[in-house]
Structure 1
Amino acid sequence: MASRLPAVFLTAWASVAPAAELAGTAEAGGLPLANLVVAAQALDEAGRVKAAPPPAAMALDQKSREFIPHVLAVRSGTPVYFPNSDAIKHHVYSFSPAKRFEIKLYSGVPPEPVVFGQPGIVALGCNIHDWMLGYVYVSDADYLAVSDNDGRWSLDLPNGRYRLTFWHPDAAEQPADQVVTLPSAELRVSLELKMRFQTGKPPASLQNQGYGDGF
């Protein structure tokens, strides 16, 4: 039977520092919430011009039978390597429409990366370890950030207008996009989180944050 954690609420706030840094914290039930994706799409030419190009490559590791990080946010077209830092073999796969792929039983670093060419949510699994779950958030947005274990996130943005999109893997519904103009004082976003732990193990986003294996 799937476990259920009572619904909790997340509030994200952001303020603008003098250096055009949009920064904030994410909390759920009074605790820091990791793995909140914040995507900013520039609506002005200045913001688009100053956006950095997609990185040459990124990595999503496997350590202690977990995907690290639990959520990786990348720009469309980014190649991602899937190193295996465990002493055992993993078998990574995804059936998500945005990117279907499979890396069969392997150790070390695969010689070729996986290129995530279209936007969407790519859920990752391991054929050997059922509880392993991770996500690649692929976006055409100009700027991306993911909240850390302290719930903190930040984006370096030139002044201008942006459409902000928020996403969390454990959200029952994702909040509506918001359009903000920088410099700006503050914004707030609330969304409801509902968790169903199919393996009886809390997701990585809530581990070590007050939610134990008893849920």
Structure 2
Amino acid sequence: MGSRSVKTFLVALLLAAPLAWAQTGSVQGEVEIFVVGADGKEQPKADRSGVVVYLTGYTEEPPAEVAVMSQAQKTFMPGVLPIVAGQKVEFLNKDVVLHNVFSRSVARKFDAGKNRPGEKYVETFKKTGIIDVYCDIHEQMVATLVVVPNRAFAVTGKDGRFTLSGVRPGRHPIFAVHRRDEKSDIARAEVVVEAGRTSTARLKLVETRTDDTHLDKRGKKYTPRPDYIEKDR
């Protein structure tokens, strides 16, 4: 093979390599949620929305866009937000009252301070993990950030179904996380993904947290506080 032929072959090989890596598969499936009844038996839950399903086993760069978790009507929207490690999140106060977003989770501690209506706070989450998010002023405000290693994730609807697209081929652990508790409600299975094919997975979760009781950012019980629209930080 002449030098020109060798160069042509190498160029073709280099051009083909990204195409080979670009071949991905997908995963479709369903998450079942059960609650424990008064008799101690597991009962299926009708609404299976808000479950984050994601794969591990490889990492990807986070998207450039900033994810948004708003505060409106004294509620976090969305209540569960999956992001890729390294991605930024904007906590935007769209309410008419003061808020103070914070987390005391082991995975990531932060304190946005007091934010007036229209103000925002941006935080970067570099490590994977489950992060409970609260407001230091309104005890009923609870949310969850799920920081995952790649873009193969989805949030279930009421029927509990999900689709993960653009998944790299291989055998991967697959997880399902529900509600606001970094220590429980995590289901795990394994799935084999092939390029150009759709694999299936089924996961089961049992709710272990019955309420959203938590402490304020100082680690103390909440005390009744009036709403403030204008107040210094």
What TM-score results when the alignment is normalised by the length of structure 2? 0.65
The one-letter code sitting in structure 2 at the alignment partner of 1:84 is N
Q: 1:194 aligns with which of 168, 191, 208?
A: 208
Counterpart in the other structure of 1:35: 50
Contact 2:93/2:119 (8 A) holds in 1 = yes
Separation of aligned partners in 2, 1:154 and 1:61: 25
- Establish whether residue 176 from structure 1 lines up as the match of residue 182 from structure 2: no
- Establish whether residue 83 from structure 1 lines up as the match of residue 95 from structure 2: no
Task: Indicate how the Cα distance of structure 1 residues 176 and 26 shifts in structure 2: closer, same or farther if over 3 A, else same.
Answer: closer
Separation of aligned partners in 2, 1:25 and 1:82: 30
Separation of aligned partners in 1, 2:76 and 2:148: 20
The one-letter code sitting in structure 2 at the alignment partner of 1:178 is E
Which of the pair has more CA radius of gyration?
Answer: 2
Counterpart in the other structure of 2:133: 124
Separation of aligned partners in 1, 2:203 and 2:212: 28
Contact 1:164/1:180 (8 A) holds in 2 = no
Gaps of 5+ in 1: 1-18, 200-215
- Establish whether residue 145 from structure 1 lines up as the match of residue 160 from structure 2: no
Contact 2:64/2:87 (8 A) holds in 1 = yes
Deviations 1:59-94 (A, max 9, x none): 011122111111111111111000111111111111
Counterpart in the other structure of 1:109: 119
- Establish whether residue 166 from structure 1 lines up as the match of residue 191 from structure 2: no
Aligned-residue identity in percent: 25
The one-letter code sitting in structure 1 at the alignment partner of 2:131 is V
* Structure with the largest fraction of strand: 1
Range moving further from structure 2, 120-129 or 23-32: 23-32
The one-letter code sitting in structure 1 at the alignment partner of 2:124 is V
- How many residues are paired up? 174
The one-letter code sitting in structure 2 at the alignment partner of 1:32 is D
Task: Indicate how the Cα distance of structure 1 residues 42 and 173 shifts in structure 2: closer, same or farther if over 3 A, else same.
Answer: closer
Per-residue deviation, 1:123: 0.6
Measured on the aligned residues, the alpha-carbon RMSD in Å equals 2.6
Q: 1:63 aligns with which of 68, 72, 91?
A: 72
Q: Which has the higher contact order (CA 8 A, sep 6+)?
A: 1
Range moving further from structure 2, 130-139 or 33-42: 33-42
- Establish whether residue 134 from structure 1 lines up as the match of residue 143 from structure 2: yes
What TM-score results when the alignment is normalised by the length of structure 1? 0.69
Gaps of 5+ in 2: 1-23, 34-43, 214-233
Per-residue deviation, 1:170: 5.8
Task: Indicate how the Cα distance of structure 1 residues 192 and 39 shifts in structure 2: closer, same or farther if over 3 A, else same.
Answer: same
* Structure with the largest fraction of helix: 2
Contact 1:75/1:141 (8 A) holds in 2 = yes
Per-residue deviation, 1:186: 3.3
SS at match of 1:86: coil
Separation of aligned partners in 1, 2:45 and 2:53: 20
Per-residue deviation, 1:41: 2.9
The one-letter code sitting in structure 2 at the alignment partner of 1:23 is Q
